[in-house]
């Protein structure tokens, strides 16, 4: 079986659980990962026979993908901001929208030396690591309630030799250590924001595999994390510092209202590349 035939075979097998283009994209990603090929290399080597050792992995991989386990968990890695990060079912899979948030922060904060950054709910560490890379040298602190997620994030930081201080913190009931009032330049968070009533709108490969505690909030109090983040921003941000939040697209104005004038200025809802309300950013007065 050649590389092209392997990709075509896997694409055909995945047609049942996934739409055609998505099945092809997953099969291509798997092929490139297994062979450590770039897209260009894969096309140039299309007629090259697949190594027997790789072919032997196909049945197990295919079974997991047919069960709708996310391909990132199957491969154990997800691409984010130029990095290949380890992901496990203890961590959310980084989304393109979150990478867009990292780009927004790097654009607005780049070139400033000696920043102190806090990432709340770090998961795989994707935001903290992207910012530690883009804003270096900076002090970057990242917190999460999950010990398992923090272990993954620490391994990702070690892989790229990025200095991040990881802390296990239940942010709803405690504060990060070592951050006195008015010490932060950037507070960023992608907290749980999907309302429980929105579960039926989500795909099974998310619901069955990704950590519910990192996704869902109760309908009765969907902004509970944002109220707490607003409290932290009020206390921990120094004057002129900025808070950046990824949000539920249906709750943009409500989230922004938690960062009131005159405590904050330049409060705005920012749309993502799909035109959806996806971020709130505000500057401490």
Q: How is residue 126 written in tokens?
A: 């994707």
Using CA atoms, how far residue 11 sits from 68, 111, 203, 225, in Å, is: 14, 44, 19, 40
b/e per residue, 88-98, with b = 16+ CB within 10 A?
A: bebbbbbbebb
Cα–Cα dist 23/12, whole Å: 8
Give the distance, in angstroms, between the CA of residue 254 and the centroid of all CA atoms in the same chain: 23
pLDDT at 218: 95
Strand pairing category for 138-144 and 115-120: parallel
Tokens 């929105």 sit at which residue? 198
Using CA atoms, how far residue 17 sits from 12, 62, 154, in Å, is: 11, 12, 34
| Helices 20-35 and 3-13: angle between axes, nearest 10 degrees | 140
Cα–Cα dist 59/40, whole Å: 26
Cα–Cα dist 117/280, whole Å: 17
First to last CA, the chain: 63
pLDDT at 214: 93
- Contact of 153 with 128, CB cutoff 8 Å: yes
Cα–Cα dist 85/94, whole Å: 9
Quick one: which H or E segment has residue 59?
helix 58-66
pLDDT at 204: 82
Question: What pairs with residue 270 in β-bridges?
Answer: 279
Q: How is residue 247 written in tokens?
A: 């949000």
- Contact of 264 with 283, CB cutoff 8 Å: yes
pLDDT averaged over 10-residue windows placed end to end, the chain, 285 residues: 96 92 96 96 96 95 95 96 97 97 97 94 98 95 98 98 98 97 98 94 87 94 98 98 98 97 97 96 98
- Contact of 136 with 128, CB cutoff 8 Å: no
Q: Which long-range contacts (CB under 8 A, 24 or more apart) does 108-112 make?
A: 108/242, 108/281, 109/135, 109/185, 109/186, 109/242, 110/134, 110/135, 112/185
């Amino acid at each position: 079986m050649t590389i092209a035939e392997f990709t075509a075979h896997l694409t055909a097998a995945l047609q049942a659980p996934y739409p055609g283009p998505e099945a092809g994209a997953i099969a291509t990603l798997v092929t490139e990962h297994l062979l450590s090929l770039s897209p260009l290399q894969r096309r140039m080597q299309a007629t090259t026979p697949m190594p027997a050792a790789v072919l032997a992995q196909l049945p197990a991989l295919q079974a997991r993908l047919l069960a709708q386990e996310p391909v990132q968990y199957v491969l154990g890695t997800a691409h984010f901001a130029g990095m290949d990060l380890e992901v496990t079912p203890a961590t959310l899979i980084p989304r393109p929208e979150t990478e867009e948030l990292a780009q927004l922060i790097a654009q607005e904060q780049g070139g400033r030396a000696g920043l102190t950054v806090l990432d709340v709910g770090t998961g795989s560490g994707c935001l903290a690591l992207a910012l530690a890379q883009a804003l270096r040298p900076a002090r970057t602190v990242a917190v999460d309630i999950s010990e398992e997620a923090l272990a993954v994030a620490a391994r990702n930081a070690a892989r790229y030799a990025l200095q991040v201080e990881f802390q296990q913190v239940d942010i709803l009931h405690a504060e990060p250590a070592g951050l006195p009032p008015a010490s932060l330049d950037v507070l960023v968070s992608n907290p749980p924001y999907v309302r429980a009533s929105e579960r039926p709108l989500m795909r099974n490969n998310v619901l069955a595999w990704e950590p519910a505690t990192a996704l869902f909030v109760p309908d009765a109090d969907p902004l509970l994390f944002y109220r707490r983040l607003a409290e932290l921003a009020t206390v921990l941000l120094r004057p002129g510092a900025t808070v950046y939040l990824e949000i539920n697209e249906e709750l943009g104005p409500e989230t922004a209202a938690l960062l009131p004038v005159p405590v904050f200025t330049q409060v705005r809802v920012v749309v993502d590349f799909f035109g959806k309300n996806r971020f709130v950013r505000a500057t401490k007065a």
